[in-house]
Chains A and B, each alone.
Chain A
């Protein structure tokens, strides 16, 4: 049992610390799980792979679930994925049931997390085994599929695709690597920059810049509101929680968990999609949804089980195909690369021990999250009030440590932080999408290798259609995701038109779509 040697006290301690820090990041509005993982990456440089993963998975699980705290107590989603938690959580807190609401959320999160971990455990190896036989042609098509799915899930498909292609373009800067069978020549840059950009931009400084520095810039622009320090946290009187609240809600709990897992698997689709989908499904399907939106536990159950189920779901494409399921797992890819591990179809078969250790860390992090939040929530909730003028400078400092140390002390990586911090800020401002761009950036260079190598060995573009039945299926999926998005776009446009005509028709209804 070699695995046992990894599972020492340090391992469990790191997973617990990770979960706690993650909850804190998640609980502070404006800071996300992605940021938690990005900012804490330097801590893993000195740790081994297993220990590093324990910390990072803890951060991931904690970060996603921490968002419920301000959602319930202050009506502000701590992370985008807890938006639907505010619908029922805040009304409950106003009725003095804050603690009960939080405990319902915690239990739902635990169930969501564990169900998705289970799906991950059984499904990822299957998917990996299936995709091992993929040649470059299918691998290229998988990346193409991932990018179309991301794009079609974006608020606007055209913008999504455009952002993704910009990401790919950025990834091509530098050398066409010899080790990938390229010719070792550089492209897409000025000669003056060649000493810095021979290997392109390093992945982690780019990610840390986009998720860390640009958040700070966006907040600075808004004037770094100190608003929350004066807010009152009303937990209500304790108690009132019993597992009886979940009676008759098992269908909801399971359904929402599976929705969360499935949405998590789709690349680049953020957490808010999962919880919104689960919430609306509960609203449509439950026998009595009249109380939803006014403080019904069933809404909390749907929202929180779905958003925590994302964690396991998003890890499935990461570990079996090497394609990150969301922006947090995109940062995790960076952590793997750092440890010299290539995630992809061969990862699970070749690293059985690491795989088992990861599963243990994931389940353990969920359990720690449960105990921390269920019993210590009163104390943790106070971090929401830590002033931003203390937090933000610390975050910038941690970003610097992460970027500088990644390639053993290269100052250009620190400047990359700033470049991509400003870049991320501009992206947000002009309305491009970050998630497709990041995933394009991560997958771009492999896409190039698979594409060019396929053409070099077969000599015709038609190979992408005729290579194998799987290729055909992948094309069908690509077409389906584009078609789906077009239908969705037309529907929402029609609805907007209808609302617009209603608004112009009768001014009394003008405030309807704010609610």
Chain B
């Protein structure tokens, strides 16, 4: 067995690292190839002004993008906080969702007319309540 260059024996105690090691080498090799064939030509094109860097070089709606992130983080965090105040009721999900839906709708609106705001408010109350009724009450699915 030992004579063949292809033979291999895997130590059981470290077998959890055998495949990951191979994948690491594959990743490193591929990354090197990507750098040589894609990244370097791309950066050269950026330097010549033909292409722009992703994210940094593009124009983006910063307020809406980072606003979305902040809202989502706040939503997830508060949900468990409020949820812990009323354990096993799903109220955390219900109450925080109502606030979140309304704020997110307001943020995504480009012009705020009375009618649009009222629609958003109704939606913010109805949609989470419906979801809460269906999942928590009808299907007995755990909600925060």
Which A residues contact B (CB, under 8 angstroms)? 42, 45-46, 156, 158-159, 161-162, 165-166, 168-169, 172, 175-176, 182-188, 213, 216-217, 220-224, 226, 387-390, 392-394, 396-398, 400-401, 404-405, 408-409, 411, 414-415, 417-418, 421-422, 429-431, 447-448, 451-452, 455-456, 459-462
Contact = CB atoms under 8 A, between A and B. Distances in A.
Contacts of B61: 220-224
B45 interface: no
Interface of B: 1, 4, 6-10, 12-13, 15-20, 23-24, 26-27, 30-31, 33-34, 37-38, 54-55, 60-61, 64-65, 67-69, 72-73, 75-76, 79-80, 93, 97, 100-101, 104-110, 116, 119-120, 123-124, 127-128, 131, 135, 138-144
Task: Label chain A's interface by main secondary structure.
Answer: helix
A393 B135 contact: no
Contact of B64 (A45, A161, A221, A461): A221
Given A158-B34, A159-B38, A182 B16 contact: yes
A284 to B, nearest CB: 32
A176 B15 contact: yes
Contacts of A217: 65, 68-69
Nearest to B108: A389
Chain A to chain B: the 10 pairs with minimum beta-carbon distance, closest first: A46-B139, A176-B16, A223-B61, A389-B108, A409-B142, A393-B104, A220-B68, A461-B6, A393-B101, A448-B19
A159 B17 CA distance: 25
Contact of B123 (A224, A226, A390): A390
A25 to B, nearest CB: 16
Given A388-B108, A405-B143, A183 B119 contact: no
B27 A455 contact: no
A389 B105 contact: yes
Contact of A401 (B19, B108, B143): B143
Contacts of B76: 400, 411, 414-415, 417-418
B7 A460 contact: yes
Contacts of A183: 12-13, 15-16
Contact of B19 (A42, A172, A388): A172
B30 A400 contact: no
A100 B44 CA distance: 50
B139 A221 contact: no
Contacts of A222: 60-61
12 contacts: A166-B27, A220-B64, A223-B64, A390-B119, A397-B101, A397-B127, A411-B76, A417-B76, A452-B19, A455-B8, A460-B1, A461-B7
B10 A455 contact: yes
A419 to B, nearest CB: 11
A461 B33 CA distance: 25
Nearest to B1: A459
Contacts of A188: 20
A169 B27 contact: yes
Contacts of A397: 97, 100-101, 127-128, 131
Given A161-B30, A393-B104, A172 B4 contact: no
A404 B13 contact: no
Given A217-B69, A390-B123, A46 B140 contact: yes
Contact of A393 (B10, B100, B110, B116): B100
Contacts of B128: 397
A164 to B, nearest CB: 9
Contacts of B60: 221-222
Nearest to B31: A162
B105 A401 contact: no
Contact of A459 (B7, B18, B127): B7
Contacts of A159: 34, 38
Nearest to B72: A418
